[in-house]
Structure 1
Amino acid sequence: MEEQIVALKSDFFKALAHPTRVRIVERLAKNNEEVCVCELIEDLGVEQSNLSQHLSILRKQQIITSTKVGLKVMYRIKYPEALTILENVAKILAQQFKEGEALMRHFTER
């Protein structure tokens, strides 16, 4: 059972392991609103076919969800905790950057 849980966690992170998918999640998290595909295409500057592939991966992992409103398909984040993960990664990266700067100063001040 533990191996299955580890595999599920790994699949979740794989779904977020592409810059376009991270941008999609961050865009959908903005104001926690539903966004149509047409807005995502415009905001992210990607082709519709490419965007559809990324949305499909995020939907498969249930990171986002979609609803059809008339002719439009609207997307939103299913679990806001997904954004918390990205925010925590940003904090870790900021710390790593600071540590790297401090290390560089240490070596350049000699």
Structure 2
Amino acid sequence: MNSDIQQFKTEFFKALAHPMRIRILELLSEGEKNVNELQAILGSEGSAVSQQLAVLRAKNVVASVKEGTTVIYSLRDPLIKDLLAVTKQIFDNHLVNAISLLEGIRSE
């Protein structure tokens, strides 16, 4: 079972390993959106957005529901929003440490 969870984590983090996919997840953290909305916000071609959504869908990170001719996307698990927030906190901590290091070097 331990290897199962490790494999899940590996595949999950691979799904997150692209800047546009992270941005899509950030946007979906704010609420459901369709491809056209995501494309407009991202300022990217629909095909690029669709490709990244396909990866996220294949890895069960996002859910999709068809409403007429429109597909609406959402986060499959609301904890993804928390994961993104924790990642931002980790970045902030690294940034604070880097600034402290630079200030220490500057004062020498």
| Smaller-chain TM-score bracket | over 0.9
Q: Partners of 2:45 and 2:68 in 1: how far apart?
A: 22
What's the offset of the Cα at 1:4?
2.5
- What is the number of equivalent residue pairs in this alignment? 108
Q: Partners of 1:89 and 1:17 in 2: how far apart?
A: 13
Q: Which ranges of structure 1 fall in alignment gaps of 5 or more residues?
A: none
State the Cα RMSD in Å.
1.0
User: For 1:27, what is the secondary structure of its paired residue?
Assistant: helix
2:95 pairs with 1:97: yes
Structure 2 counterparts to residues 3-14 of structure 1, below 5 A: 3-14=3-14
Of 63, 68, 79, the residue aligned with 1:65 is 63
Q: Partners of 2:32 and 2:27 in 1: how far apart?
A: 10
Q: Partners of 2:77 and 2:89 in 1: how far apart?
A: 20
Which shifted more, 91-100 or 55-64?
Answer: 55-64
Instruction: Kindly report structure 1 stretches of 4+ aligned residues shifted beyond 6 Å.
Output: none
User: For 1:73, what is the secondary structure of its paired residue?
Assistant: strand
Q: Percent of counterpart pairs with the same letter? A: 35
> TM-score, normalised to structure 2's length?
0.95
